[in-house]
Chain A
Amino acid sequence: MSMRQTEASAWHVVGGWNHVQPGAACRVELPGAEIALWRTEAGAVHAWDNRCPHRGMRLSFGIVKGDRLACRYHGWHYDEGGQCRFIPAHPNLDPPDTLAVAQHATHEQDEAIWVALGAGPTEPPPPLGTDQPGFCRSIPLPFGADTAADVLMRLAGASPVAPRLMQVRPEIGGSNRTVTLAVQPIDETRAAMHVFLDGGPKADARLAAIRWTVGLRWQITSETGAAA
Chain B
Amino acid sequence: MILYEHVLSSDCYKLRLMFDLLGMDYERRPVDMYPGHADQKPAFRALSPFGRLPVLQDGNLTIWDAQAALLYIAERGDASSSWTARSVEERANIQTWLQVAGGPLRAVAAARARNLFGDASSEDGLLDVITIIDDRIVEQEIHGSEWLVSDRPTIADVAVFPDIALHEDAGISLDAYCGLRRWLGAFASLPGFAPMPGVASM
Contact = CB atoms under 8 A, between A and B. Distances in A.
Asked if chains A and B are in direct contact (CB within 8 A), the reply is yes
Interface in A160-196: 192
Nearest to A25: B201
Contacts of B178: 15-16, 18-20, 26, 138
A145 to B, nearest CB: 14
Given A138-B176, A228-B128, A210 B139 contact: yes
B201 A214 contact: no
A18 B201 contact: no
Contacts of B142: 203, 206-207, 210
A21 B139 contact: no
14 contacts: A18-B178, A19-B178, A21-B185, A24-B185, A25-B201, A26-B178, A27-B173, A62-B201, A72-B201, A206-B142, A207-B142, A217-B131, A227-B127, A228-B127
A118 B180 CA distance: 29
B119 interface: no
Contacts, number: 47
Nearest to B174: A26
Contacts of A29: 175
Interface of B: 126-128, 131, 135, 138-139, 142-143, 173-176, 178, 181-182, 185, 200-202
Nearest to A139: B176
A217 B130 CA distance: 14
A139 B176 CA distance: 7
B200 A28 contact: no
A137 interface: yes
Nearest to A226: B127
Interface in A197-228: 203, 206-207, 210, 214, 217, 227-228
A127 interface: no
A21 to B, nearest CB: 6
Contacts of A203: 142-143
Given A62-B201, A214-B135, 17 more contacts: A15-B178, A18-B182, A19-B178, A21-B182, A21-B185, A24-B185, A25-B201, A26-B174, A26-B178, A26-B181, A61-B201, A138-B176, A139-B176, A192-B176, A217-B131, A228-B128, A228-B131
A124 interface: no
A127 to B, nearest CB: 22
Nearest to A15: B178
B138 A137 contact: yes
A25 B135 CA distance: 21
B138 A140 contact: no
A130 to B, nearest CB: 23
A217 B131 CA distance: 10
A63 interface: yes
Contacts of B176: 138-140, 192
A206 B142 CA distance: 8
A100 B35 CA distance: 43
A18 to B, nearest CB: 6
A24 B138 contact: no
Contacts of B182: 18, 21
A192 B173 CA distance: 14
Interface string A1-33: 000000000000001101111001111110000
Nearest to B131: A228
